[in-house]
Structures are given as C-alpha cells and as structure tokens.
Homo-oligomer: A and B are copies of this chain.
Amino acid sequence: MSETWGIAELAAEFGVTTRTIRFYEDKDLIAPERRGQRRVYHLRDKVRLQLIMRGKRLGFSLDEIRAMVDLYDADPTEVSQLRLFLDKLRERKGLLTIQREDIDQVLKEIAAREAQCERLLSEKQTGAKRASN
C-alpha cells in the first residue's frame, strides 16, 4: 500500500501552515482524498505541493501556478488542444527565460560588487596592520 500523509505532516515538511495548505485546496491547487472528514494526501499531492512551492519561489501568483500545475498533469489528446498546450508551454518558457536573464544580470553585478568589497576590505586590513606597527 502506498504511503500517505496527514495535513500537519505535509505542512511541517514544506514549512508552511496547515491553513496555507487548506487555502491552496480552496483555490483548487490540490484535491486530497477524504477519509471521513480528514484529508489524506498521496504522493501525487506531495508532488503538486512541491511544484506549487517552486512556483512561489519563482514569484508566480497562485492563479498562474494553478495554470502551470494543471498543464503538468494535463494530457491533451485532441490536436487543437495540443496546439494550445504547446503555445502555453512556450509562453511559460519565454517568461522563465527572461527571468533567467534577469538573474544572470543581477548575479554578475553582485559578483562585481563583491569583488570590489573584498578588495576594499583587504586594503583596509593591511592598512590597519601597518598602522598598528
């Protein structure tokens, strides 16, 4: 029998509150099994949560994230749907590519500042040593 989890376990594991997880359910981001009135989470729910968290780290809104995870386990069979699906994928790809470029740019700038800081620091240190002799 495959492993399942309670809401508190998942919350702890992902570092969010149970409220948050229920909220996501309310927004149709996940749909756990119910056993009586309790929620029971399977592996697929965990995977979805994983995707959601990644989406959040990337700054997407819950609506966007839902669209993405829905893409994830959609299985378009008709050709028209398939085309639409491909379009969405490419749109997503475009956005992420821009984000990547943004990040690369910032990382470069940070690296430059970092180097500059380190230079300054070592200068001031040797300066201090010399002054204390």
Structural contact, A102 and B59, CB atoms closer than 8 A = no
CA gap between A114 and B100 in the complex, in Å: 19
Identify which of B89, B103, B111, B121 contacts A114 (C-beta below 8 A): B89
Q: Given A103-B99, A110-B93, A58–B59 Cβ distance below 8 Å?
A: yes
Q: Which secondary structure characterizes the binding site on chain A?
A: helix
CA gap between A83 and B96 in the complex, in Å: 33
| Identical chains bound together, number | 2
CA gap between A90 and B57 in the complex, in Å: 18
A residues at B contact (CB < 8 Å):
54, 57-60, 71, 76, 79, 82-83, 85-86, 89-90, 92-93, 96-100, 102-107, 110-111, 113-114, 117-118, 120-121, 124-125
CA gap between A30 and B102 in the complex, in Å: 21
Structural contact, A57 and B121, CB atoms closer than 8 A = no
Identify which of B97, B111, B124 contacts A82 (C-beta below 8 A): B124
CA gap between A76 and B121 in the complex, in Å: 11
